[in-house]
Amino acid sequence: MKTIRLTAILLMIFLAACTPAARTTGTPAGPGPTASRGKPAPFLAVTAAPDARAAVTAFLKDWQAENYSGMYAMLTKVSQDAITRADFTTRYQDVANNLTLKSLEYAVTGVMTNPTNAQAAYQITYHTNLVGDLTRQMTVNLALENGAWKLQWDDGMIMPELKGGNKLALTINVPARGNIYDSSGVALASQADAVAISLHTGELVPSQEGTLLTELSKLTGKTPESIKALYEYPVSIGQNWPVVVGEANSADVEKRMGVLSGLGGLYLEKYRNRFYPDGGVAPHVVGFVSAIYPNELADYTRRGYPPDEVVGRSGLEQWGENYLAGVRGASLHVVDPQGKIVTMLAETNAQPADSIYTTLDYNLQEQTQKAINGFKAAAVVMERDNGKILAMASSPGFDPNQLIPNNPLAGSIKGDYNNRATMGQYPLGSVFKIISMSAALESGVYTPETTMDCQQTWTTPELPGTVLTDWTKDYGIPASGVLDLPQALMRSCDPYFYQLGLNLFDQKGPDYMASIARQFGLGSRTGIDSIADAAGNVQDPVMKIDAVHLSIGQYTLLVTPLQVADFVAAVGNGGTLYVPQVVDKISPLDGAPLFSFAPKVRGKLPVTADHLKVVQSAMRSVISDVKGTAHYVFMGMQIPIYGKTGTAQTSQELPDAWFAAYTDDNQPNKPDIAVVVVAENSGEGADFAAPMVRRLLEVYFTGQPQRLYPWEASYNVTKTPTPLYTNTPTPAPPTDTPTPQPSQTVTATPKP
């Protein structure tokens, strides 16, 4: 009986200890008013104590997100009195920068809670860019303020080693930037000592001019005529002006110092940084470097870049930054407030940068740039059977050396950084007739034997009031007469293709021609991933007149020269569209290449083998047949060339000149190539673009130009300010001029 009574007493004590009355808020302990009137007391409201673990987790989550304002708001008032929000933020940012922090992970490993204070243990793992992962175990005290847990902050909450005001100090070892080479190992970009060359016109010695021009031409790769043009005017008016010439490799300058040191007015300033020989060979492909911009500094600091380092801004310099920058080494120390080293936390060794070998041929690239100099133009040379880019040029160009921060000539010469070869979007003109012919053959509406009388004007009952003309009318030569489909391409007969476009619209539907064009790779990016390229534009015709103009490469059609080179190569190789590539391999200092070129197929032309042979034969006749529109340009060349002229109407007075070609020579050591040139607002494709393509074929197969342009006084030196085709044979050679789009009645724009 005593045992039962004792148990009951203990149970009452236990229940009294568990009563929630002491944990209620706003109500004193004891019976309330209702209970005093003899009624049962209601259950009292209970407010749970805040969760200390949740508070610590929220703080760490903000830290992970680098939300320093949120972190600061969770500190106790005493902690906030001890450090300002700005200093708190700076403290964490300095740690993150010195760690080269990529990200952090956290875990709360334990919590002990009392009514008004708590303590939590947590783990932080820092993932860094330069010194690997660092993991630390730490504790934090919390205090209950105004019903919420606040953290009592000190430096040791970041890292135990930082308690007492210690800081992190990072020393970075930066490897030399990797080089960019052509396919045979000739440098296109390197880390080298360079010399900035300028002239002071008032100090030039007339009797030394010949020597001066010869020496500077050899050092810079510029012609003597172009160098002289830089200083002729200030000399003629007796002014002493500083004139920028360019840059040269320091070693080359040193070899000629015996001569150079005696030349009046010549100023040489040495600097060390990125160097691009000959004023930039393939600058639009190789790209350039520049200083880190102020708004980028925080990001690059985290990645381990010193503030004075240069970074890739375009082309391969930008695309290959992670290869060319190498792996930085670092030593991470803890230092006391006086800067004395306390301990080393981590150390890593630098690793040499990788080098990029391109598919470019240095000589061909340099000659390609010279071939289109003086025009707003673009050129692409690629291997026909695999997509390798051997040369890619855009004019005007630029000197990437003059974007180097410590070059004394930096910013003195402006250039055109737009890569017209990949980003220029143009109407294609009559080169598109290759696609129109292919579409006609595949449609079943046309055969190679389908004929039409090609006269100088074209009308149709389906488009009342519309009159379109043939190029022969403006050129003052007789109409071509009755032609079959291959002959229509050879003569570039506009009326034949006007009618072809209309017939296919009627019989195959509005989207037929545009669909074939898209399967030739137009209207989408080529897939080249190392430099930027545009998609162009291929729209389905809406009306019949739209289809007429699309058939000759007008309407709203826009293409890039790279796209054209790609599909012309596919015509030549049997129908395979390859992804163009400019990277041959990426090589470390030692060991196997990280990447090696391999052809990448992007599609097949929508043309049967038999029909493709018909198209190829027609392209051959453009050059081999005496009536072909480019026959006279390529006379005397022995290699088999297949091509197509194009003259595309634009909003400007003069049209864009196009020529596209491929070879079929089957030399074992000279792979066949596709070549495309567009010269903006210059005139006829046969008059301007075709001679440039011939020049590039000469350089590729013989190593140097073989015939002057009609507008040249000597190689790469124009004889008139504006290039003009001055020696047109008599009678006038065949060419082709597209007609502008009509509203009702239209006649072709007269030739210049």
CA distances from 655 to 432, 561, 688, 690, 751 (A): 15, 16, 11, 14, 9
> What is the pLDDT at residue 609?
98
529-542 pLDDT, tens per residue? Answer: 999 999 999 999 99
For the cut 70, the answer to whether the pLDDT of residue 49 exceeds it is: no
CA 161 to chain centre: 44
**CATH 3.30.70.270, domain 422-718, yes or no:** no
The pLDDT value recorded for residue 356 is 98
Secondary structure of residue 424 in the 3-state scheme: coil
Lowest mean pLDDT among 230-239, 262-271, 290-299, 712-721: 712-721
Q: In this structure, what are the phi and psi dihedrals at residue 203, rounded to the nearest 5 degrees?
A: -110, 0
pTM for the model stands at 0.84
Q: Any idea where the domains of the chain sit in the sequence?
A: 52-165, 422-718
Residue corresponding to tokens 């880390």 = 191
CB contact at 8 A, 454 and 470: yes
Q: What is the mean pLDDT of residues 427-441?
A: 98
Neighbours of 604 (CB within 10 A): 12
pLDDT above 50 (res 738): no
Nearest-CA neighbor of 490 among 616, 647, 619? 619
CA-to-CA distance for 415 and 87, rounded, in angstroms? 45
> Residue 696 contacts by C-beta under 8 Å, 6 or more apart in sequence?
364, 367, 368, 371, 379, 381, 391, 675, 677
Count other C-beta atoms under 10 Å from residue 73's C-beta: 13
Tens digits of residue pLDDT in 62-98: 999 999 999 999 999 999 999 999 999 999 999 999 9
Q: Which residues pair with 679 in a beta bridge?
A: 377, 657
What pLDDT was estimated at residue 591? 86
Residue 721: pLDDT band with limits 50, 70, 90? very low
Calculate the CA 115 to chain-centre distance: 61
pLDDT above 90 for 405: no
677-712 confidence digits (pLDDT tens): 999 999 999 999 999 999 999 999 999 999 999 999
User: What's the CA gap between 372 and 396, in Å, rounded?
Assistant: 9
pLDDT tens for residues 97-124? 999 999 999 999 999 999 999 999 999 9
| Closest residue by Cα to residue 314 from 412, 419, 410 | 419
Whether residue 405 contacts residue 288, with contact meaning beta carbons closer than 8 Å, is answered with no
Query: Alpha-carbon distance 696 to 679, whole Å?
Result: 14
Average pLDDT, the chain: 89
> Rounded to whole angstroms, what are the CA distances from 477 to 419, 455, 622, 647?
38, 11, 18, 18
**Is beta strand 389-395 parallel, antiparallel or unpaired with respect to 377-383?**
antiparallel
Q: Contact, 639 vs 697, CB < 8 A?
A: yes
Q: In whole angstroms, what is the distance from residue 109 CA to residue 179 CA?
A: 49
Q: Give CA–CA dist 75/373, Å, rounded.
A: 66
Among candidates 299, 342, 294, 343, which has minimal Cα distance to 321? 299
Level-2 CATH architecture, domain 52-165: Roll (3.10)
Q: What pLDDT score was predicted for residue 731?
A: 32
The pLDDT value given to residue 23: 36
Does 325 score more than 70 pLDDT? yes
Strands 712-714 and 717-718: antiparallel
Contact between 653 and 681 under an 8 Å Cβ cutoff? The reply is yes
Distance of alpha carbon 583 from alpha carbon 356, whole angstroms: 7
- Helix segments in 492-560, DSSP class H: 494-508, 512-519, 544-550
Cis ω before 400 (30° cut-off from 0): no
Instruction: Note whether 119 and 151 are within 8 A (CB).
Output: no
Amino acid present at 727: N
Report CA dihedral (517, 518, 522, 528) to the nearest 10 degrees.
Answer: -140
Q: How confident is the model at residue 48 (pLDDT cuts 50, 70, 90)?
A: low
Q: How far apart are CA 683 and CA 751, in angstroms?
A: 8
Which pair of structure tokens corresponds to residue 70? 């949120």
> Which residues, in sequence order, are bridge partners of residue 481?
454
